[in-house]
Structure 1
Amino acid sequence: MSPGWDAKRVRLEEYFDRTAFDAWTALTSDAPVSKIRATVRAGREDMRNMLLSWLPQDLTGRRILDAGCGTGALAIEAARRGADVVGIDVSPQLISIAVERAPRDVHGKVQFLSGDMLDPRLGTFDHIVSMDVLIHYEADQIATAAAGLAERARKSLIFTFAPGTPLLRTARAVGQFFPKSDRSPSIIPVSHDNLRSRFSRALPAARMGRDQRVSRGFYTSHAQEVLTA
């Protein structure tokens, strides 16, 4: 990947480990949150449930990568279906929460790691899921990263990106006027057609599967399935 990818990854690690750690811990739990964050929580739950529904119900014997696992909710549900799961996230702090929250019934079924989800040393998987990680990157970086993940997925890759809606584009434009110290890592809206075209050039052997958008209040994200089998 380009130096821009590495620079953004470092910034995301700093953001989730320092600036947003408490807020993210609350958002991914049952703790009270603001009305705005409640819509984000609901949207993320809807998206997570949809991505899980795109995987086989019985995952016994399957190896799953939760690429950008955060506090581990999707990884835990996949393990409960019988999968052997690797959950990796750029933030060591979020990984510590994931380990702490992992229930006893998935102990030995989920391995949580801090690092780069594109690290080839992680090996190959039957299915790879990356939820709301690539929303922070430009279309060319998303396509390259997704192609790299798809090459390590024996059956499918599912990832999400920020669609180029007027609301998201306006929010990004307004955010440029915030002081740098107050800015979160920007969500970068991209065109679905542009992304599909770039991905097809990066990995022509893969086939595009289902795609669907989830919008709940202040949460908007678009899921894309890539079939590799």
Structure 2
Amino acid sequence: MSDYGLTRDRVETYFDRTATQTWERLTSSDKVSRIRETVREGRDRMRALMLSRLPADLTGARVLDAGCGTGAMATELARRGAHVVGVDISPQLIGIARRRLDPDLAGFVEFHAGDMTDPALGRFDHALAMDSLIYYRDRDIGQIIDELSHRCARNIVFTVAPRTPFLMAFWSMGKLFPRSDRSPVMVPHDPRRLARHCPGQLHRVGRVSSGFYISECLEHRR
């Protein structure tokens, strides 16, 4: 199995068996610890930054929410008028997303459990992947972006873990331990190096840092 396949399976196991309840609580309005509150705030800011790269009116547009998790991004896209296809490797998270979806938006959103690169999902005007590529190496991200770009007419907005001293130290420490039964570890990236693996134009949009949440937004266009 490829590095991509191994990492994808590890991510599925983590979110579907280990972290489902934690992720459900983090993405809700329930009270959480201050540390998790900073992560929640960071994710809210990143979601807004990513959405700023798309038109305010998405009426008639078909948008892929790749790694949709519990559905927050899909909801915002649907409110702009888009037809949203939300896909996540975790059936458990997809179940939460379906339960949380506003009934008034049901006609605008369809959720699928599976691989974000599945050609059966069809073609799109835009694609977003918020924090769903952070566990993959540069060549795997390049392959994912390449596959999605052939089915995306306009832009792909996604995030990676930036190469900060903190994340690099965390990643280096994680490599010292076996990964078979532990959570996946974020792989820090330099956008300039990552651009070598992504055909087309890759632009830096901005970085969000909020407590333990650190993520870099990039935009790809062919």
Give the TM-score band, short-chain normalised: over 0.9
Distance between the aligned counterparts of 1:34 and 1:134, measured in 2?
A: 26
The match for 1:126 is 125
Q: CA deviation at 1:176?
A: 4.1
The equivalent of 2:49 in structure 1 is 50
The aligned counterpart of 1:85 is 84
Q: How far apart are the structure 1 equivalents of 2:35 and 2:153?
A: 38
Match of 1:68 in 2: 67
Q: TM-score, normalised by structure 1?
A: 0.92
**Aligned equivalent of 1:25:** 24
2:213 matched to which residue of 1?
219
Q: CA deviation at 1:181?
A: 7.3
SS of match in other structure, 1:134? coil
Q: How many corresponding residue pairs?
A: 222
Would you say the 8 A contact 1:129–1:159 is kept in 2?
Answer: yes
Q: CA RMSD in A?
A: 1.6
Q: Which of 202, 212, 216 pairs up with 1:208?
A: 202
Inter-partner Cα distance in structure 2 for 1:177 and 1:18: 24
Question: What are structure 1's unaligned runs of at least 5 residues?
Answer: none
TM-score by length of 2: 0.95
Alpha-carbon distance change, 192 to 219 in structure 1, aligned in 2, over 3 angstroms: same
Q: Give the partner amino acid of 1:39.
A: T
Structure-1 separation of matches of 2:89 and 2:136 = 14
Q: Percent identity?
A: 49
CA distance in 1, matches of 2:212, 2:173: 15
Maintained 8 Å contact 1:164/1:192: no
**Secondary structure in 1 aligned to 2:116?**
coil
Task: Name the CA shift for 1:188/1:210 in 2 (closer, same or farther; >3 Å).
Answer: closer
Paired AA for residue 98 in structure 1: A
- Residue identity opposite 1:100 in structure 2: R
After TM superposition, give the deviation of residue 182 of structure 1 in Å: 6.9
Structure 2 partner of 1:184: 183
| Cα offset, 1:183, TM superposition | 3.0
Tell me how far 1:32 sits from its aligned partner: 1.7
Aligned to 2:140: 141
Distance in 1 (CA, whole Å) between partners of 2:106 and 2:148 is 26
In structure 2, the gaps of 5 or more residues are none
